[in-house]
Amino acid sequence: MKHLITILLFTFCAATYTAAQKLPVSETQQRIMKYYPNPAVSYIKFDFQNEFTKGYSIQVVSFIGKKVYEEKNINNSTTLELSNFPRGIYIYQLKNSFGQIIESGKFQVLK
């Protein structure tokens, strides 16, 4: 019985820890990048809020996971023209110089 309680307790703690890792970033937390307008028609602008570090890159993928844009070593303000983007939802990923995703978000393109 003692082993069963230990296993159940371990399983509960592991499940709680895993769920906590997957929680989305709270809207109240400070984001590194601001992007606007959203929804967008002809362009979307990405601006760093405070901590701009050289070596960041940005990647945009469609909602089905197809990479549609990537720029390495971006500036503290980057404008993405959307003339070749079909209507839909897109996800951006901001990556550091090691390729780790440090922020992501989504925006909508209207046409």
* pLDDT tens digits, 80-102: 999 999 999 999 999 999 999 99
> Residues 58, 78: contact at Cβ < 8 Å?
yes
Q: What superfamily does domain 27-109 belong to in CATH?
A: Immunoglobulins (2.60.40.10)
CA 72 to each of CA 26, 28, 30, 84: distance values in angstroms, whole numbers, following the listed order: 27, 28, 23, 20
pLDDT bucket at 105, cuts 50 / 70 / 90: very high
pTM of this prediction? 0.70
| Domain boundaries of the chain, sorted by first residue | 27-109
At 20, is the pLDDT very low, low, confident or very high (cuts 50, 70, 90)?
very low
> What is the C-alpha separation between 22 and 17, in angstroms, rounded?
9
Which residues, 6+ apart, have CB-to-CB distance to 72 below 8 Å? 57
